[in-house]
Structure 1
């Protein structure tokens, strides 16, 4: 079975980004894919800011990334780029920590104006960490995700256009993971 780790980098736990990542996680679960989440805002701030590579929390988070077949990197857009807490965590990944993984970027912003922040801000950083295989990126805007309730009763609704794009990206990710799983099995039968 394949496994996917989410690196979610929003300091706001009522962020609309959470609604998007919950939708993706639920869809992956229905496909039989194991999912783990690294909530970067929950990692010890002193470890992130102090670049404590040997911190037990950072070591545990990095082990999740190392074991993953795919990594979903989810961030709100601030000042035309991804969140600063995401950068503090990415700086603590091993130099080739994203090599041989399928990477699926998921951003949310106030307007469509920062759509290219995935390509121009995030992907160069991920490429420096060994990322080469990118699934379709998703950029959502705040008006595509409706929040209702609060606290433990907080729920999110996604509009139809975003749901359709997410479904297509999820299917692409699932197919890529199945191909990766099938390739070693196929190679073994050819011996």
Structure 2
């Protein structure tokens, strides 16, 4: 069973990006993956800002990323790029931390003007970190994400394409893992 780290790079405590990341993680679990969810905002700020990769919380997440088969990287778009807290975390990863991994980039934002940030801002960094395969990602408008009773509800125009990119990511992971046995 492929293992995945689902990483939310939002600094907000009430983050639609984090809710969307959790929703995608649930879809992946339903497809037979072992998924560890992580939020960059929950890491100790002093350790992040001082680049202390030996801090236990950061070292634990870095080890999980290193040992995972795939990584879902989600972030809100700020100033036409992914969040600073995600950038700070990605800067702590070893040079080829994503080598041999399949990666799914997902961004959220307030307007369609930021849709290209997936490909011009996030994808190059993931590739530079050695990702084996960065599958087609997705951009979701903030207004298409809401929570009801603790559950994430996406507008239809966001749910269907998100399910498609998550299914493509899942299929790529299953293909790399090879045929299932016993």
TM-score by length of 2: 0.93
Does the CA-based 8 Å contact 2:68-2:101 persist in structure 1? yes
Quick one: distance in 2 between partners of 1:175 and 1:95?
26
What is the deviation of 1:160?
Answer: 0.9
What residue ranges of structure 2 are gaps of 5+ in the alignment?
none
1:51 aligns with 2:47: no
- RMSD across aligned positions (CA): 1.7
What residue ranges of structure 1 are gaps of 5+ in the alignment?
186-191
1:83 aligns with 2:79: no
TM-score by length of 1: 0.89
Instruction: Indicate the SS of the match to 1:91.
Output: helix
Quick one: distance in 2 between partners of 1:126 and 1:61?
17
Does the CA-based 8 Å contact 2:5-2:68 persist in structure 1? yes
Question: For residue 110 of structure 2, what is the aligned residue in structure 1?
Answer: 110
> Which structure has the larger Rg?
1
Question: For residue 129 of structure 2, what is the aligned residue in structure 1?
Answer: 129
For residues 126-158 of structure 1, give each alpha carbon's deviation from its aligned partner in whole angstroms, at most 9, with x where no partner exists: 22211241112010001211245xxxx544310
Decide which of 160, 165, 173 is 1:169's aligned counterpart: 165
Quick one: distance in 1 between partners of 2:15 and 2:71?
20
Does the CA-based 8 Å contact 2:126-2:134 persist in structure 1? no
Question: For residue 189 of structure 1, what is the aligned residue in structure 2?
Answer: none
Over 6 Å off, 4+ runs:
none
Quick one: distance in 2 between partners of 1:69 and 1:59?
18
What is the deviation of 1:183?
Answer: 6.6
Instruction: Indicate the SS of the match to 2:92.
Output: coil
- How many residue pairs get aligned? The number is 181
